[in-house]
């Protein structure tokens, strides 16, 4: 992950959650279920401030298929989300617009992805 992308993700976390986000590390996350594979470069941030919603936030970019825009996805470390892998898997399980990587098709199960 390049510095400009990391800084844009940091800004997104801070704006969304009204707290300071301190970059900790990048982690490549690959989630596979059947023939569907999703891979994302996830930035892990520590959240600081008087009213932080969680200890950590996981953030990554998602390019829009057929478009030149990029969405920033931010998932908090809370509830069942205990790692960058859980964040990516849980996000994609809840998002019906997920596009598998080229050449991959199929369905997915929460039990496969979060296992």
Nearest residue to 38 via CA among 16, 54, 62: 62
Question: 11: helix, coil or strand?
Answer: helix
pLDDT in tens, 45-89: 999 999 899 999 999 998 776 777 888 889 999 988 899 999 998
Distance (Å, whole) CA 100 – CA 31: 11
The predicted structure's pLDDT at residue 6: 93
pLDDT in tens, 24-37: 999 999 987 677 78
Nearest residue to 27 via CA among 63, 72, 70, 57: 57
When pLDDT is averaged across residues 88-92 and rounded to a whole number, the result is 84
Domain boundaries, the chain: 3-98
When pLDDT is averaged across residues 76-105 and rounded to a whole number, the result is 72
Is residue 88 within 8 A of residue 31, CB to CB? The reply is: yes
When pLDDT is averaged across residues 92-110 and rounded to a whole number, the result is 50
């Amino acid at each position: 992950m390049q510095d400009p992308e990391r800084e844009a993700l940091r800004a997104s976390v801070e704006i969304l959650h009204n707290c300071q986000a301190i970059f900790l590390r990048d982690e490549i996350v690959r989630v596979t279920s059947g023939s569907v594979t999703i891979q994302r470069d996830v930035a892990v941030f520590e959240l600081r401030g008087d009213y932080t919603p969680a200890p950590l936030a996981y953030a990554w970019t998602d390019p829009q298929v057929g478009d030149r825009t990029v969405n920033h996805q931010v998932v908090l470390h809370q509830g069942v989300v205990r790692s960058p892998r859980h964040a990516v898997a849980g996000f994609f399980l809840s998002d019906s617009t997920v596009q598998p990587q080229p050449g991959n098709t199929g369905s997915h199960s929460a039990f496969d992805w979060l296992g």
